[in-house]
Structure 1
Amino acid sequence: MLLLITQSAFTVEAATNESIKLATPVLKVTGGKISGCFGEDSHVLIYKGIPYAAAPIGDLRWKRPQPVKAWQGTRLCNTFSAMAFQRERDMKSFYGKEFHDPQSEPQRSEDCLYLNVWTPRSAAGNTKAKLPVVMWIHGGAYMSGFGFEKEMDGEAWAKCGVILVTINYRLNVFGFLAHPALSAENKEGLSGNYGLYDQIAALQWVVNNIAQFGGDPKNITVAGQSAGAGSVKNLVTSPLCKRFISKAIIQSGGGLGEFISTEASKDKLEALGMQMMDQLQAHTAKEMRALSAEKVLGALMPFMRQAKAGLFTAPYIDGVALTEDFTSAVKDNSIADIPYLIGSNANDIMPMDKAITDFAAARDSLSKRPVYVYHFDRSLPGDTAGSFHSAEMWYTFHTLKRSWRPFTQADYELSDRMVTYWTNFIKYGSPDGDKTWKPCTRKAPYVEVLQTKK
């Protein structure tokens, strides 16, 4: 039966750490025991800042994620972690104003491999609940962002019976630097892609641990927006993890063809990494790891401009995590054979409509699994930016009340509808049981237009 989202008036008062420990189930996950906290709704629990891998600092900088270190006692997970080390945000910029608050911006740290779980209170600790799960990957061009930005929240989804996991992963030069000295340390002769391996490690953590939160490890959707959508495309392509994925949601990440390219060669990326580190007078892995995070990051943008390197700190085909690009994998039918929900916005950063319907047509010719396509076409109130890149995020997570914009009742109704569509897809593989939102096929390329009702 398809469920509709309802707004709840329940709130809870702030509780002491000790009372939270008593009020929320203590769960055993990889590394030790954890307790969580209440969401705004007392029927939802949040476990914030759970480590899924060892801190990638010191000798672990520019190494693939290592197993999390165990802790003693019960770890209180009621505070979000630091975000991955990245440039400080310009709060006066369009996106700074739109999605970030200078009063609550988290600290930056290389110690960033943490995730967060929203789950119904009734499900936590019940390994037989078998609720559907979604792992969300944030956007930011693989350069910035974090998994608990104010537009991202799992309360609405948890009230619909879906468990949301959001993750941090290493970004920019810390997540994707390739360099000959780093490749020499690896038995496969590879470097870079650390952020991609982080995402794979997080997904493996979800598979191994989500039952503790009431989730079904065999019903995991991966979802993301922008570079997070590009990451989803990488995960459904990767031979290391695509078997763990039951559905995928790709928001404003293109379709067939290039979005954020993965096709740069290992040799080219290593050469660029060596040029950048040579300018910092760091030639060995030991010298590179001795540099401060501020110095490494501070050199990145000037080097990219000088070398005209473009986005060279991003995932690439390394032959292990990625053996081919997404488009090739679609055409040879080697991506995860699962249902897909994919779309873009009317005023997105680039035209994506044809690339997306081409993807749907290609899947239709090779698989019986459906592809559902949307087009978000609500011009957000408050300015003339229209349906800009990332605009749909307020609606996807039902977090409109956190925005400065003068949203109307029609906006809240559109958000209700989208949360219902998204959570139904996560549960059942269809946004509405194919009643009005039909799969997009070669002969019937249906696209669901998401806009406010007049």
Structure 2
Amino acid sequence: MRIQYALKRGLFIGLMAMFAGALCADPVVSLSDTAKVVGKSEQGVDAFLGIPYAQAPVEALRWQLPQPAKPIQGTFQATQEGAICPQWQQGKFKGEEDCLNLDVYRPEHAKHKLPVLVYIHGGNNQTGEAHEFKPQALAKALNAVIVQVNYRLGVLGFNPLKALKTEQPIQASGNFGLLDQLAALQWVHQNIQHFGGRADQVTVAGFSAGGRDVMTMLISPLFKGKFQHAIVFSGGMTTAPVAPSQQVFRQAFAPLVVHDHIKPNIASAQAWLANGGKAVRDYLQQLPAERLAPLMKGAGIRMSHFPHLYRDGAVIPKQGFASTDYNSVPVIMLSGQTEFSIFALTDPYFVKAWHDGSLVNDPDMLSKYQFVYHYGGKLYSLFNVQQSAQRMFAHYKAPIYATEVAFGNDPLVTRNEQMALLGAFHGVFMPLLDRTWRQALLGKVFQQPGAVDLSKQFRRYLAHFIRTGNPNGQHLVRWLPWSPKHDNQGQSLLVLNANRHKALIQMSSKSYDEAVLLDAMAKDHRLSDQAKQEMIDQVLNGRWFSNSLDKRFHVPSLWPKS
């Protein structure tokens, strides 16, 4: 009996070990009879990392259209993040040109095909990476497949120089980073079903530069039918004219030409670059990414410093957002209430005082900061949501859902010194998706009960939206579509806020009037006229949202004179 018991017990333990091993086995996806992708499981989510969606844009493929990735043969180990694209961060070069890869996350043990959220990272189209936030918690909360994309950045991702153009109109656009995003969406359409996603239920979302890219997708004929819904986190309407952009690029590349003894001075170098031709193209092709990445660094949401998203007529209409032909899909547009805070704090005027802590102890500096914080925040929020919605509304054939995050503005709620300076900052929504995001800076602000409740409700809106194109659901404050006609009593903006204990969400008739804001700036006497003009000339000038401000206060254009 003891022998039989021991045998049975040993068999039971062996079976349990086998079963546990099966549960812990790495997830495997079959793309074909001969191609498999092996991922890893973490935090209740299957992750497939660094999957190539296009060929490496190197050598002859640099500054060319993204080419489809070569089919996987055998087994691809997708257990480590892929390379990020070349960029200049904190005084250092990072990345490599073989960077056109993406990450796929899905909840473990999903039984049905799930909606897909494709996320485009921010960074002014100059910096950033696919893994901008940890998507595991969001994938489970939305019960969705999440795809995060690396795409070409900086002068490797956007370049209008004449020498690089071929006779192919799409290639000649110079919008290579945007075309990479198109290639990623095409990869999703062709492959996501193998990962448990629905190719007919794709939402494209982006933050900051990624949000502006998504806005551009709404007017680009190339993106028609590539996604069913869109989410724009702090985006807005930005494009660049081709000819002035070429001039900015010639100015940026000319010092390299002189340094390499191709031409004797800046003027002759710019003329040589303007003429184009094989010699120029060959020179540009051989420049290492380490020398290209720092060009036009520190653009700081100023299109004149790093022009991109060119109105070429093939990828982006020549009339830009004056176009009336939209890829009309349901869209959410979001902004923080004080979006400009982080750009003010990192501006050369304030950054040292912020880092050494003297900003809050210097009444003069603090007054100047509060001025740009207040007016820059309102102008940026207006630009991100209201101006875009108003411009689109007449010709857009799908609902526009507008929202503004107010959480972060009340220091009695946040009780955090950095949040007192940041407020509802650029990216304030991010900790609502991933509570670990920037925790070293933000502390436990987003882990208090009110913020957690806000996070849960915000995620529920998103979960409904990525399935139906309508964010509304049971036990949620009804979110009305944007309407300037006031047929909903003017309540067109969902305000997301919380106290220390619970979420505070409501529809609001709040709106910004640019002319009224500029009048208020002119009449604001908390600063001397000299100090006020200094803030306008040096900190607020030339930003995405500054066209009317620059004209009102006679600020010279930052674009080069032709």
What's the TM-score once normalised by structure 2's chain length?
Answer: 0.66
Change (3 A) 1:36 1:64: same
Q: What code does the residue aligned with 2:106 have?
A: T
Q: How does 1:190-229 map to 2 (within 5 A)?
A: 190-229=172-211
Matched residues in 2 for 1:193 and 1:71: separation?
27
Cα deviation digits, residues 94-134 of structure 1 (max 9, x gap): xxxxxxxxxxxx951111111111112234xx7xx332111
**In structure 2, what is the equivalent of residue 8 of structure 1?**
none
Q: Once the 2 structures are TM-superposed, how far is the Cα of residue 310 of structure 1 from its aligned partner?
A: 2.4
Change (3 A) 1:171 1:189: closer
Q: Once the 2 structures are TM-superposed, how far is the Cα of residue 279 of structure 1 from its aligned partner?
A: 2.9
Q: What code does the residue aligned with 2:82 have?
A: S
Q: Aligned pair 1:345/2:327, yes or no?
A: no
Q: Pick from 319, 323, 336: which aligns with 2:317? A: 323
**In structure 1, what is the equivalent of residue 249 of structure 2?**
273
Cα deviation digits, residues 222-259 of structure 1 (max 9, x gap): 111111110101112111112122111111113xxxx4
Q: Look up the SS of the partner of 1:206 in the other structure.
A: helix
Q: Pick from 438, 461, 467: which aligns with 1:421? A: 461
Q: Look up the SS of the partner of 1:338 in the other structure.
A: coil
Is there any run of 5+ residues in structure 2 with no aligned partner, and where? 1-20, 263-278, 341-375, 409-413, 502-562
Cα deviation digits, residues 30-79 of structure 1 (max 9, x gap): 994311111212xx211111110011122221111112133432111111
Matched residues in 1 for 2:453 and 2:404: separation?
17
Q: What code does the residue aligned with 2:71 have?
A: A
Change (3 A) 1:159 1:406: closer
Q: How does 1:117-196 map to 2 (within 5 A)?
A: 117-123=104-110, 129-149=112-132, 151-184=133-166, 186=168, 190-196=172-178
> Do 2:121 and 2:207's aligned partners in 1 also have CA atoms closer than 8 Å?
yes
**In structure 1, what is the equivalent of residue 99 of structure 2?**
112
Change (3 A) 1:321 1:29: farther
Q: What code does the residue aligned with 1:327 have?
A: F
**In structure 2, what is the equivalent of residue 9 of structure 1?**
none
Q: Look up the SS of the partner of 2:245 in the other structure.
A: helix
**In structure 1, what is the equivalent of residue 493 of structure 2?**
447
**In structure 2, what is the equivalent of residue 264 of structure 1?**
241
Q: Pick from 416, 434, 444: which aligns with 1:406? A: 444
Q: How does 1:239-318 map to 2 (within 5 A)?
A: 239-254=221-236, 259=237, 261-265=238-242, 267-281=243-257, 283-301=279-297, 310-318=304-312
Q: Once the 2 structures are TM-superposed, how far is the Cα of residue 428 of structure 1 from its aligned partner?
A: 1.9
Q: Once the 2 structures are TM-superposed, how far is the Cα of residue 270 of structure 1 from its aligned partner?
A: 3.2
Q: Percent identity?
A: 30
Matched residues in 2 for 1:67 and 1:247: separation?
24
**In structure 2, what is the equivalent of residue 378 of structure 1?**
407
Q: Aligned pair 1:396/2:409, yes or no?
A: no
> Do 1:153 and 1:397's aligned partners in 2 also have CA atoms closer than 8 Å?
yes
Matched residues in 1 for 2:109 and 2:297: separation?
47
Higher relative contact order (CA 8 A, sep 6+): 1
What's the TM-score once normalised by structure 1's chain length?
Answer: 0.80
**In structure 1, what is the equivalent of residue 36 of structure 2?**
33
**In structure 2, what is the equivalent of residue 12 of structure 1?**
none
> Do 1:397 and 1:419's aligned partners in 2 also have CA atoms closer than 8 Å?
no
Q: Once the 2 structures are TM-superposed, how far is the Cα of residue 357 of structure 1 from its aligned partner?
A: 3.1
Matched residues in 2 for 1:31 and 1:188: separation?
34
Q: Pick from 23, 27, 38: which aligns with 1:24? A: 27
Change (3 A) 1:268 1:400: closer
**In structure 2, what is the equivalent of residue 72 of structure 1?**
73
Q: Once the 2 structures are TM-superposed, how far is the Cα of residue 335 of structure 1 from its aligned partner?
A: 1.2
Q: Look up the SS of the partner of 1:280 in the other structure.
A: helix
Matched residues in 2 for 1:88 and 1:30: separation?
42
Q: Once the 2 structures are TM-superposed, how far is the Cα of residue 177 of structure 1 from its aligned partner?
A: 1.6
> Do 2:26 and 2:38's aligned partners in 1 also have CA atoms closer than 8 Å?
no
Q: What code does the residue aligned with 1:115 have?
A: L
Is there any run of 5+ residues in structure 1 with no aligned partner, and where? 1-17, 92-105
Matched residues in 1 for 2:36 and 2:187: separation?
15
Q: Give 1 or 2: higher helix fraction.
A: 2
Based on CA coordinates, which of the two structures has the bigger radius of gyration? 2
Matched residues in 1 for 2:151 and 2:205: separation?
15
Change (3 A) 1:168 1:31: farther
> Do 1:49 and 1:80's aligned partners in 2 also have CA atoms closer than 8 Å?
yes
> Do 1:395 and 1:415's aligned partners in 2 also have CA atoms closer than 8 Å?
yes
**In structure 2, what is the equivalent of residue 387 of structure 1?**
424
Change (3 A) 1:291 1:29: farther
Change (3 A) 1:299 1:338: closer
Q: What is the aligned residue count? A: 404
CA RMSD, Structure 1 to Structure 2 (Å): 3.0
Cα deviation digits, residues 308-364 of structure 1 (max 9, x gap): 9823341111222112455323xx2x2122111112101112424544234435555
> Do 1:142 and 1:313's aligned partners in 2 also have CA atoms closer than 8 Å?
no
Change (3 A) 1:134 1:347: same
Matched residues in 1 for 2:296 and 2:393: separation?
42
Matched residues in 1 for 2:167 and 2:282: separation?
11
Q: Which moved more, 1:273-282 or 1:292-301?
A: 273-282
